[in-house]
Amino acid sequence: MNNKYFILALTSFVIVVSCNKERDRAVVQSNPPQSPQNGGFVFSSETGGATKVGLASDNSLYWTGGDQIAVYSYNGDDAVCRDVATLFSGEGSSTGRFAPETYSDNSSWYDPDALSQDYDFYAWYPAASAATPNSKVISVSNVSPVQSETVGFGDYLVCWAKTETDKSNLVAGSAPNFLFSPKSALLKFIVNNSSKTAITINSIRLDANANISGDAELNLATGILSAGSRNDVTYYPASPIVVSAGSKTWVPVNISLLPCAATSIAVSLGNCNVECQEDLTLSGIESGRVYSKEAVFISPTPKRTVDILNETAQTASSSSLETNKLYYGKANCLVMSKYATQGTLNIQLFASSDGFARSDLASSYTSAVTSAKVIWAETALYNDANFGIIGANLNTLTISKSNGVTGNALVGIYDANDDLLWSYHIWCPSDVTTYSNFRSEQNTKFASVYKLALGQVAGEQTDGYLYYQWGRKDPMGRASTLSLTNNSLVEITGASFTSVANTDTGEEINNLAYARNNPTGYITSSATPYDWFPAKATMTSHNYLEDRLWSTTDATIYDPCPEGYHVAPITLWEGTTSKSSGNFSAGSTTKLWYVCGGEFSVTGTNPTPHAANMGSYGYYWSSNVYGNHARRLYFSKNTNLYRDHNYHRDDALGVRCVKN
């Protein structure tokens, strides 16, 4: 801004200050100060003043109701008086009159016994930011950021004035005149949204390579303001700002910045999946200047690893999740259709209230998330130039891919120690159809059923499903073909599937933690009851805690299905008897197809986890348990069909999802 001034005249001790304000803006002032009584001291200012709120069309400044300035009086180097004075007249103009709160008698502002006749007066705006001076140096607290929707400087523009007067003038009741000048600068900019989608701005953060905000010191004698203490500013609009794709919008951002040398400023928008094309550059920030900059935002480059800012205490670390029954996210699977280019995954922190049931936000704990990564992806999806994470904060991850690309992936969130907190399946099928009001052969009704088995991509009759150990949320890959002669998995990039014996992973809660921390680890068992989640090292007794990992009625925190769905109960297949070419149908009118997708296992001859029995057998877990085992749908290509077959829980089979 241009350096504007205002003159403050000391009369009966009331302060008058000047600044210009938008004439069409209403001024709200509760309990305004009254004009001082006869004999009261007044500070006054004349034309052209510089202080806070707005820049009028001619860049002049003006006073607002409730404005307060700090005034200091010195006789030589000795402080005589300090007070806060409040505007009582002159709202909406560049000339104001201010009444001191404590010292309303002009004799309070000079030392009657002092021989010196010269007095220095200093004034500072805003008064609330200035501490009591020491040796003519005042501490100025939190000069910025500011929250202002006005056209001009905003409530935290800092201004300074100095004037000299003779004691005889003070004795006679004459008021000194202040000539204010701003000590900070103003930054405002236009948002150029060159991305492919509209953006909604909830916050704007500036990160500079110099200190542009925070605490500083002002030398009252020289008016020199020291460097600030922070290099960042975050601005929160009063209401979200929407900028459509391919358009420019002046954002009513008025951020007061401290003077500094040449600097570059990185601009980021909270909760927006865009990134600034380049930093803003300033050759220097000078007092009283208005800097207007255009920030161009583009669609971000997808990343396989992103950092997430987290300045809070991180109590929900990886080591504490099972102990405190905490979990991250509303669901463990995000569905993105073949034609979708973006998907949003919830990663908020929740607490389980009963066993593994989903519950409310964990208000007593704070998120430990500091980064997110792509753990693995089917290679065709991984090689998509637009696949990756394009937005990340403590609430959500935004996943991107190209239109028409399908496949499966696994992403994870990590704490500051790079320990995995939680992982999520990204499912990108060619068909996201769900059948409403689906009924089994014996007329058991389901609100909705996914047409495809979990992880199928190309189609219900041609594609393999993902493999899940009973009660676990993370998949073990899927068959690359339904041919019995090829027991290979669909190729993935980023990780590989491994196996470990359950006796090596710990017991009970520790074993569950191992499964969460190692989503690509297939946990094997060599003794009855062949369970990846043993109750004891002997693995001979049943662990009822495990029975609640999945539920027949609702999604648990370890359910692998998309939000609003859970692993199908055995009743989905009630009365099912018909088969055709290795697939069978269920339902009175709508048909569900089940491929012979085989299973995921290790054997003595092949200890590497692999697909087996594809094209010959179909295996699908239900959410029901039976003693030490769980129930599954099992059929062969040509003969057997068992809709409630009991089997050991360390096997990895297919899953169907029904609505909660």
pLDDT of 285 > 50? The answer is yes
pLDDT of 339 > 70? The answer is yes
The residue among 576 and 400 whose pLDDT is bigger is 400
The pLDDT value given to residue 55: 43
Length of the chain in terms of residues written: 660
pLDDT confidence tier of residue 345, bands split at 50, 70 and 90: very high
Q: Please report the DSSP string for 15-82 in residue order.
A: EE---B--TTS----SSPPPPPPTTBBBEE--TT---SS---TTS--B--TT-EEEEEEEETTEEEEE
Q: Which residues contact 291 (CB under 8 A, 6 or more apart)?
A: 185, 186, 187, 188, 257, 282, 285
The pLDDT value given to residue 528: 78
Strand order across the 657-659 sheet: 434-439, 445-450, 657-659, 565-567
The residue among 388 and 604 whose pLDDT is bigger is 388
Q: Please report the DSSP string for 104-168 in residue order.
A: -BGGGGS-TT----EEEEEEEESGGGBPPPBTTEEEE---------SSSS-TT--EEEEEEEEHH
Mean pLDDT within 628-635: 89
pLDDT of 346 > 60? The answer is yes
The pLDDT value given to residue 409: 97
Smallest Cα–Cα separation from 557: which of 345, 360, 262?
A: 360
Kindly report, residue by residue over 642-657, the tens digit of the pLDDT: 877 888 888 899 999 9
The pLDDT value given to residue 396: 93
Same fold, 15-182 and 185-298: yes
Q: Please report the DSSP string for 510-540 in residue order.
A: HHHHHHHH-TTEEEE--STT--SS-SSTT--
Q: Which of 442-446, 478-482, 496-500, 559-563 has the lowest mean pLDDT?
A: 442-446
The residue among 561 and 536 whose pLDDT is bigger is 561
Q: Which of 33-42, 92-101, 165-174, 624-633 has the lowest mean pLDDT?
A: 33-42
Q: Measured between alpha carbons, how far is residue 535 from residues 80, 155, 509, 515 in Å?
A: 79, 63, 9, 15
pLDDT confidence tier of residue 84, bands split at 50, 70 and 90: confident
Task: For residue 164, count other CB atoms closer than 10 A to its CB.
Answer: 10
C-alpha radius of gyration, the chain, whole number:
35
The pLDDT value given to residue 538: 41
Whole-structure pTM value: 0.65
The pLDDT value given to residue 506: 57
Mean pLDDT within 395-400: 93
Task: Specify whether the CB–CB gap between 634 and 645 falls below 8 A.
Answer: yes
Task: Specify whether the CB–CB gap between 290 and 184 falls below 8 A.
Answer: no
pLDDT of 268 > 60? The answer is yes
Residues paired with residue 168 on neighbouring β-strands, in sequence order: none
pLDDT confidence tier of residue 603, bands split at 50, 70 and 90: low
Residue found by looking up tokens 């150029």 in the block: 192
- CATH fold of 185-298 reads Immunoglobulin-like (2.60.40)
Mean pLDDT within 383-406: 92
Q: Which two tokens stand for residue 311?
A: 């300045």
pLDDT confidence tier of residue 510, bands split at 50, 70 and 90: low
Smallest Cα–Cα separation from 282: which of 158, 185, 217?
A: 185
pLDDT of 443 > 50? The answer is yes
pLDDT of 412 > 90? The answer is yes
Task: Specify whether the CB–CB gap between 100 and 42 falls below 8 A.
Answer: no
Kindly report, residue by residue over 247-264, the tens digit of the pLDDT: 888 776 667 788 888 899
Q: Please report the DSSP string for 569-615 in residue order.
A: PGGGGTT----BTTB---SSSS--------EEE--SS--S-EEESTT
The pLDDT value given to residue 379: 93
The residue among 498 and 147 whose pLDDT is bigger is 498
Mean pLDDT within 523-552: 70
Task: For residue 25, count other CB atoms closer than 10 A to its CB.
Answer: 15
Q: What is the DSSP letter of 394?
A: S
pLDDT of 552 > 80? The answer is yes
pLDDT confidence tier of residue 47, bands split at 50, 70 and 90: very low
The pLDDT value given to residue 606: 66
Q: How far apart are the first and last CA of the chain?
A: 60
Cα separation, 455 vs 129, in Å, equals 59
Question: 288-297, 468-477, 542-551: which has the highest mean pLDDT?
Answer: 468-477
The residue among 641 and 38 whose pLDDT is bigger is 641
Q: Which two tokens stand for residue 584?
A: 């069978």
pLDDT confidence tier of residue 156, bands split at 50, 70 and 90: very low
Residues paired with residue 654 on neighbouring β-strands, in sequence order: 620
pLDDT of 103 > 90? The answer is no
Q: What is the dihedral of CA 75, 76, 81, 87, to 10 degrees?
A: 90
Strand, helix or coil for residue 95? coil
pLDDT of 470 > 90? The answer is yes
Type and span of the H or E element at 323: helix 321-324
pLDDT confidence tier of residue 13, bands split at 50, 70 and 90: very low
The pLDDT value given to residue 30: 29
Q: What is the dihedral of CA 336, 339, 342, 344, to 10 degrees?
A: -30
Mean pLDDT within 539-552: 70
Strand, helix or coil for residue 448? strand
Q: Which of 3-12, 299-308, 577-586, 605-614 has the lowest mean pLDDT?
A: 3-12
- CATH fold of 15-182 reads Immunoglobulin-like (2.60.40)
pLDDT confidence tier of residue 456, bands split at 50, 70 and 90: very high
pLDDT of 627 > 80? The answer is yes
The residue extents of the domains of the chain are 15-182, 185-298, 305-424, 434-659
Smallest Cα–Cα separation from 558: which of 413, 355, 366, 388?
A: 355
Strand, helix or coil for residue 355? coil
Mean pLDDT within 125-132: 75
Q: Which of 19-23, 296-300, 520-524 has the lowest mean pLDDT?
A: 19-23
The residue among 348 and 106 whose pLDDT is bigger is 348
The residue among 289 and 240 whose pLDDT is bigger is 240
Mean pLDDT of the chain: 78
The residue among 555 and 616 whose pLDDT is bigger is 555
Query: Measured on CA atoms in the order 437, 439, 443, 445, is the torsion positive or negative?
Result: negative
477 Rama sector, left if φ>0, alpha if ψ -120 to 50, beta otherwise: left
